[in-house]
Amino acid sequence: MSAAVEESFGGAGRQALASPFTGIWRNGLLAAGTWAFAAALTYGLPDVISWGATNLFALLTLIGAGIFLLLSVSVHRLGKAGQTLVHYGPWLIVIGLWFAVWEVVTAKLGWLPKPFFSPPQGLLHVYVTDWDRLLICVAYTGRLWALGFFSGVAVGFTAGVALGWSKRFAYWGMPLLKLIGPVPASAWIPCTFFIFPSTFHASIFLVALASGIPVAILTAAGVGQVNRSYYDVARTLGADNRFLIFKVAIPASLPNVFVGIFMGLYYSFAVLVVAEMLGAKFGLGWYLQFNTAYSAYANVYAALIIMALICAGLVRLLFIARDRLLGWQKGIL
Amino acid sequence: MALALSQDAPASRSIAIDVKKVSHRYGGDGKELQVLDDISLRIEPGEFVALLGPSGCGKSTLLRLAAGLETATSGDVLEDGRPIRAPNPDRILVFQEATLFPWRTVRANVATGLEARGLIREREHHIDEVLKLVKLEGFADFYPHQLSGGMAQRAALARALVNDPKLLLLDEPFGKLDSLTRLRMQNELLDLWKSAAFTALLVTHDVEEALLLADRVIVFSDRPASIVAEVRVERPHPRRRDDAELVALRGSLLETLGISHDV
């Protein structure tokens, strides 16, 4: 086994070469098996009631199985993406199994109570038939979240820097922040709806409040904790106040700021849905509530999955942004 | 007189420091801590002076006063006859810790002073020269956490030197380095001082270091610090640490500091 082979295949290569089927991704084959099994169950057994999209789901899982079958011999040629796939091999197998079990206990045997539990084809049916409305809801939610979150972070960050830097700001601002900070943003709902001209503005305010307060608190703490020697060094090198704030205090407190932004991100999701359930005309929160009222639980699950993907995606984006900006910190962490 | 002189020679690369009857207290809240007690000394332009004394005696405070980071409770610290009231890149302090800005690369750290004063465009070439001078030219794009202790301290020196300081204030700059790195850095500092011709004021509690480097060693008492001894070291550089005269001086200095001969 030459070093070159080891190198080009990385960990994946070593695993495959160690197995009796040289060059074959065993977990890929198994995943193809479980997915094909799920497809066969879905297509072969009759549904207890019609959910729509049963055959489509069977087809999609079969296509999935086909892809895994192809990948099981070609994954080593895909480089980095291939390595990621290989890493998640066991997950792919289990997802196929999960499809099969889910299919059997809902659509095929009807063991789980009916309006509340939907089989996979029920969700698929929602995506196929209601995609336009879901898309609009995603856009509405996205607009509300973006306006609220970014304005909240901007205000929170500015306030935090001022509070951490200026003693006078801290004297007047800190007690207020300590008083208002712990109150959950959703507790403001009764007031906001008559303070603001529209529910949209009120919702933006709530999301901004939820994301801004942790950012303000952690930024203030971060700026306050900056090592005094950094200021001394900068001052002897000829720095003025402006330089001290923008080139010393802010970069030095950025790790704290990011902790605040992460907290704010999670809080903003929580408030977002609540805000949309109150008097909004579109949006994922509204979609959830609307469909719950009609017992359309397949739609609820479909929206929940979209929400989970969006939130996880945003968290991931924030991680990427942090790693870009705080690369200098790697040795410290 | 001193003022007129400094105006006549604006290109002068070093300054004189006069410390006149300086006393300094810290605190308030009823708990006052006197750290300097009636200190007077003069440092000639281009001179290398070491301040020696027990730890916590107030040596560092004198450096902070000379850097302009603080103003003395009473008395004056003068540069070429003018009182020092604020920090100025002509007088740069190098700390025991390298205190590099961890979010800036070595190059950006060295550039800090030029950037803060808006000189970065005209003097950018100077950064590379200084990096070469401290032997860090290959590490310009490294972040501080990727440097060893000696390299970090060298980068801190470069960050000071790029501003062409006329007075370099060194607060136990090699205190945290291992002994081999320390010896090497002492020699490098000496070379820099000879070539750049700044005035150097070194705070240390290492008698040998003071004797190897300085033209003059000033010994401070315990807090509140006052000057208890002053020794001129006439030996030419490079000095050997086993030089008979230096060994004798070391013995008498240690005795002044309250430690017996046999240590």
- For residue range B116-127, list pLDDT tens digits in order: 988 888 888 889
Nearest CA among B94, B14, B22 for reference residue B47:
B14
Q: Name the residue in chain A with its Cα closest to that of B146.
A: A331
Q: Among A113, A146, A175, which residue terminates a domain? A: A113
**Residue A24, phi-psi category: left (phi > 0), alpha (psi -120 to 50), beta (remainder):** beta
Q: What is the pLDDT of residue B195?
A: 84
Using a CB-CB cut-off of 8 Å, the residues of chain A touching B164 are none
φ, ψ at A25 (rounded to 5°)? -85, 105
Domain extents in chain B: 14-100+165-256
* Contact map slice: B 98-127 vs A, CB within 8 A: 99, 101-105, 112-113, 115-117
Residues A140 and A235 occupy one common structural domain: yes
Same domain (yes/no): A109, A135: no
Considering the domain architecture, whether residues A195 and A278 belong to the same structural domain is answered as yes
pLDDT number for residue A12: 46
Residue A331 has pLDDT above 70, yes or no: no
**How many domains does chain A contain in total?**
2
For residue A332, the chain B residue with the least C-alpha distance is B145
Q: A196 and A319: one domain? A: yes
Residues A151 and A101 in one domain: no
Q: Is B181 on the interface with A (CB under 8 A)?
A: no
Under the banding of pLDDT at 50, 70 and 90, the label for residue A184 is confident
- Per CB-CB distance under 8 Å, the chain B contacts of A237 are 89, 92, 112-113, 116, 159-160, 163
Chain A residues lying within 8 Å of B87, measured CB to CB: 235-236, 238
Instruction: Report yes or no on A118 lying in a domain.
Output: no
- List chain A residues with CB under 8 Å of B159: 233, 237
Domain B14-100+165-256 has CATH 3.40.50.300: yes
| The predicted structure's pLDDT at residue A159 | 95
Nearest to B116 among A227, A232, A238 (CB): A238
Return the pLDDT at B28: 66
B28 CB contacts (<8 Å, ≥6 apart)?
none
Q: Is residue A124 part of a domain?
A: no
Residues A108 and A201 in one domain: no
- Give residue A333's pLDDT: 42
Q: For residue A179, what is the domain's CATH number?
A: 1.10.3720.10
| A2 occurs within a structural domain | no
| A114 band by pLDDT with thresholds 50, 70 and 90 | confident
**Sites in chain B below the pLDDT cut of 50:** 1-11, 263
A181 and A292 belong to one structural domain: yes
Cβ separation B102–A329 shorter than 8 A: yes
The answer on A183 and A275 residing in a single domain is: yes
- Give the range of the structural domain holding residue A255, as residue numbers without chain letter: 131-326
On whether residue A332 sits in a domain, the answer given is no
Q: Check residue B29 and give its pLDDT.
A: 66
- pLDDT band of residue A11 (cuts 50, 70, 90) is very low
* Percent of all residues in chain A with a pLDDT value above 70, rounded to a whole number: 92
Work out the minimum CA distance from A157 to partner chain B, whole angstroms: 19
Chain A residue with CA closest to B105: the answer is A328
Q: For all residues of chain A together, what is the average pLDDT?
A: 87
Average pLDDT over residues A316-331: 86
Asked if residue A79 is part of any domain, the answer here is yes
Residue B37 CB coordination number (10 Å): 17
Judge: B113–A252 Cβ closer than 8 Å, yes or no.
Answer: no
Across the interface, do A248 and B101 touch by the CB < 8 Å criterion?
yes
pLDDT tens track for A36-67: 999 999 998 888 888 888 889 999 999 999 99
Q: How many whole angstroms separate alpha carbon A103 and alpha carbon A306?
A: 20
Mutate to test the interface with A, among B112, B141, B163, B171 (most CBs of A within 10 A): B112
Report yes or no on A314 lying in a domain: yes
Contact A34, A96 (CB under 8 A): yes
> Closest approach of chain B CAs to the CA of A256, in angstroms?
14
pLDDT at A61 (0 to 100): 94
A157-166, A185-194, B90-99, range with greatest mean pLDDT: A157-166
pLDDT(A97) > 90 = yes
In a domain, A121, yes or no: no
Q: Do B103 and A328 touch (CB under 8 A)?
A: yes
Per-position b or e across B218-246, b if 16+ CB within 10 A of its CB? bbbbebbbbbeeebebeeeeebeeeeeeb
Q: What are the two backbone dihedrals, phi and then psi, of residue A52, each rounded to the nearest 5 degrees? A: 75, 155
